[in-house]
Structure 1
Amino acid sequence: MIEATGLTKSYGSKTAVYNLTFRVQPGKVTGFLGPNGAGKSTTMRMILGLDAPSAGTVTIGGYQYRQLPNAPRQVGALLDANAKHGGRSARSHLLCLAQLSGIPARRVDEVLDVVGLSQVAAKRSKGFSLGMGQRLGIATALLGDPQVLLFDEPVNGLDPEGIRWVRELMRRLASEGRTVFVSSHLMSEMAQTADHLIVIGRGQLMADQPVNDFIEQNSTSFARVRTPDSEEQQREKLVRVLAEAGGQVQQEPEGTLRVVGLELPRISELAHQADVRLWELSPHHASLEEAYMRMTQGAVDYRSTADQRAGLQGQPPQVAGYGPPQAAGYPPPQGGFGPPPGAPAGPVPAGPPVAQPAAASPAPYRPEDAR
């Protein structure tokens, strides 16, 4: 079991983690969620003794990590898949770690089989893809057959088969009574993998509860209703009837109605009484992603905005006073852009027409040309 009490970490004037208190129970997959910069990686580093807390304590099985006898045999972790010597083969990398921790060499081949890297065990790790590097990092965590495992974004770079394999691996490890603590930004995976959630925002605890309870408390279920697209009056009539019955009705862009506050049988009964045909009447239960976004929307530090250069993907707009040289009355340049040397600063009066060679089609505009 991992237990944090009043855990705090400050870097100068910035507090990355503040007064975190939680427990990670064995026999469960505990998801560790939070926006970028929330303090997840810092918390994991403090659990593993890589960073010293500014205040508070964190223990594993009642001991601080550095007090654990032969810690790699009791705790396995994947924090950075690139934490390896690129010149070593996968097998040599694992064998070096095994020898440092007194782990039998046969265990190296066992974990290479588990993560599916046996066929490339002799290959230098610097040639590994991102997904293969993740598999090697997971093998490193499993090397000591530990009872406590921490994984930071374990599915980065993995293909769908690999993601499914990680999901099943986490659940199998937890079913064996191990403590599994997983940080991830993939809400769909957390919904299928985690039993319990710990959510932090700006370094502070926001939630510590089972997945189903988290979704229920941070979302609203609704009914989706669709009427025939060509019968606008029928839709308006249904909206009025549902609102009079106490429902909250919102029209969605695709023409469906989102109804909150009325059960499906009641909606069907009201539509029947109003003689309105329904093409769809279905329940909608919020996903973990929706619940997570609703809870953490006030704790997001990094928000994107609309791209102001989006309009530059076509031809560049003409700005007054900065048109092509011909627009200002200059003859075509012979070896560069702009007026020839000694030309007056203002527009040149139009003279007799000069025969011009046929101009080639302009090259398509590229955004980088404006930089």
Structure 2
Amino acid sequence: MIEAVGLTKRYGDKTAVYNLSFQVRPGAVTGFLGPNGSGKSTTMRMILGLDNPTAGSVTIGGHPYRRLPNAPRQVGALLDAKAVHGGRSARNHLLSLAQLSGIPVRRVDEVLGVVGLQDVAKKRSKGFSLGMGQRLGIAAALLGDPRVLLFDEPVNGLDPEGILWVRNLMKSLAAEGRTVFVSSHLMSEMALTADHLIVIGRGQLLADMSIRDFISANSADFARVRTPDGEREGREKLSSALTEAGGHVLPEPDGALRVTGLPLPRISDIAHDGGVRLWELSPHQASLEEAYMRMTQSAVDYRSTTDQKAGLMQPLPPGAEPPVPVPGQGQPGWYAPPPPRHGQPSAPPQGQPGAAPAGPYAGAPAPAAAPHPYGAPGAGAPNPYAQSAAPPQAPPVPAADPTKPEDAR
């Protein structure tokens, strides 16, 4: 059994765990839940003697971990699946752990078979996938056949078959009378695996109860009632009768009614007395995820904000707009007139009074002035097209002589 009494851990000004007391009993899978940063990993490290508590104590079987004789034979743990020398094979990794703890060599091959790594036992662990690394970490935890086991996110990276295998493994270990303590963020998996829950938030205990009691205490049970489609009057009649009987009725988006405050037999009797047919009358209980979210909503430190994608379409501040491309810019004969002064038209370039500049717009009406990229013209902002001297003159284009043949032009 694991027992924590007044467990507290501070890192400078930050208190990671404060006055935490709980017991993890044998014969059951105990889930350890809490938001990120709530102190779960710190607590598990103090259980294993990796961190010293600032105050309080935690014992395994009545003794601190560091005082347990041959601790690896009594306690197995998976805290970090990546804590493996990448150059070692899976078998050699387990073999080194076995030799340090006086565990028979045959046990190495046994646990490799248990976790399904017997076919890759001689491969280096640096080539393992995340799921294979998890299996190797679980094998290391099982190596000494311990009576107490701690697992931190044991299904991380596993495929559905691997998750099912871990679930059944945890249950079988607890059924043998072992103490199984599992930390995970997968609520759906905890609901199928754990028998008891310990929930912490911001380093403090929030709940220590069975999973059934936890869901019941942190959710509002209700009944779903549905009348035949199209019988609107019957639905409204039933809603009024249930409200008069002391129930609280809310409409569901699909046309059903959500009823709280009345047991199912009473709802059935009210519908029967009112002559209202029912297509559905079913109880509803919140999931572990819903109950957990309700319990820990005030203990979450990291919350997401709305992604303001619409902000990408807002205009840039003045002076930050890129220059607007102008058709024909950079071609021979191209000329951008300066922005017109207030009430005055643009002046043509010198040397071509009253004539349109030569270039891609020759023979067509002159294009409009390029939009000013710095705001209203005449406000003192620099003109990106202005030059210290007059704009360069385009070379004269000789007029075509219609009396010459095409080849002589």
Matched residue, 2:269: 269
Give the 5 Å matches for 1:241-252.
241-252=241-252
Q: Structure 2 unaligned segments of length 5 or more: list them.
A: 348-355, 357-364, 368-409
For 1:193, the aligned partner's letter is: T
- Judging changes above 3 Å, is the alpha-carbon distance between structure 1 residues 110 and 257 closer, same or farther for their aligned structure 2 residues? same
Matched residue, 1:331: 327
Give the CA deviation at 1:250: 1.4
Write out per-residue CA displacement over residues 245-268 of structure 1, whole angstroms, 9 at most, x where no aligned residue: 111111222332111011222222
Matched residue, 1:46: 46
- Rounded to whole Å, the distance in 2 between the matches of 1:223 and 1:200 is 31
Q: Secondary structure at the match of 1:294?
A: helix
Matched residue, 1:368: none
| Greater alpha carbon shift after TM alignment, 288-297 vs 109-118 | 288-297
Matched residue, 2:148: 148
Give the CA deviation at 1:74: 0.9
Asked if 2 retains the 8 angstrom alpha-carbon contact of 1:32 and 1:182, the reply is: yes
- Rounded to whole Å, the distance in 2 between the matches of 1:20 and 1:73 is 27
Give the 5 Å matches for 1:334-345.
none
Give the 5 Å matches for 1:77-156.
77-156=77-156
Matched residue, 1:30: 30
- Rounded to whole Å, the distance in 1 between the matches of 2:7 and 2:231 is 60
How many residues were matched structurally?
346
Write out per-residue CA displacement over residues 74-122 of structure 1, whole angstroms, 9 at most, x where no aligned residue: 1100001111111211111111111111111111110000001111111
| Greater alpha carbon shift after TM alignment, 247-256 vs 227-236 | 227-236
- Judging changes above 3 Å, is the alpha-carbon distance between structure 1 residues 124 and 346 closer, same or farther for their aligned structure 2 residues? farther
RCO higher in structure (CA 8 A, sep ≥6): 1
Give the CA deviation at 1:235: 2.8
Q: Structure 1 unaligned segments of length 5 or more: list them.
A: 355-371
Identity of aligned residues (%): 74
**How does the TM-score come out when normalised to structure 2?**
0.78
- Judging changes above 3 Å, is the alpha-carbon distance between structure 1 residues 229 and 62 closer, same or farther for their aligned structure 2 residues? same
For 1:201, the aligned partner's letter is: G
Give the 5 Å matches for 1:1-371.
1-309=1-309, 316=313, 330-331=326-327, 352=365
For 1:259, the aligned partner's letter is: V
Asked if 1 retains the 8 angstrom alpha-carbon contact of 2:340 and 2:346, the reply is: no
Find runs of 4+ consecutive structure 1 residues off by over 4 angstroms: 316-326, 332-335, 340-351
CA RMSD of aligned residues (A): 2.8
Asked if 1 retains the 8 angstrom alpha-carbon contact of 2:339 and 2:346, the reply is: no
For 1:77, the aligned partner's letter is: A
- Judging changes above 3 Å, is the alpha-carbon distance between structure 1 residues 343 and 64 closer, same or farther for their aligned structure 2 residues? farther
- Judging changes above 3 Å, is the alpha-carbon distance between structure 1 residues 51 and 240 closer, same or farther for their aligned structure 2 residues? same
- Rounded to whole Å, the distance in 1 between the matches of 2:299 and 2:158 is 28
- Rounded to whole Å, the distance in 2 between the matches of 1:28 and 1:6 is 23
**How does the TM-score come out when normalised to structure 1?**
0.85
Give the CA deviation at 1:319: 6.4
- Rounded to whole Å, the distance in 2 between the matches of 1:240 and 1:39 is 49
Structure with greater Cα Rg: 2
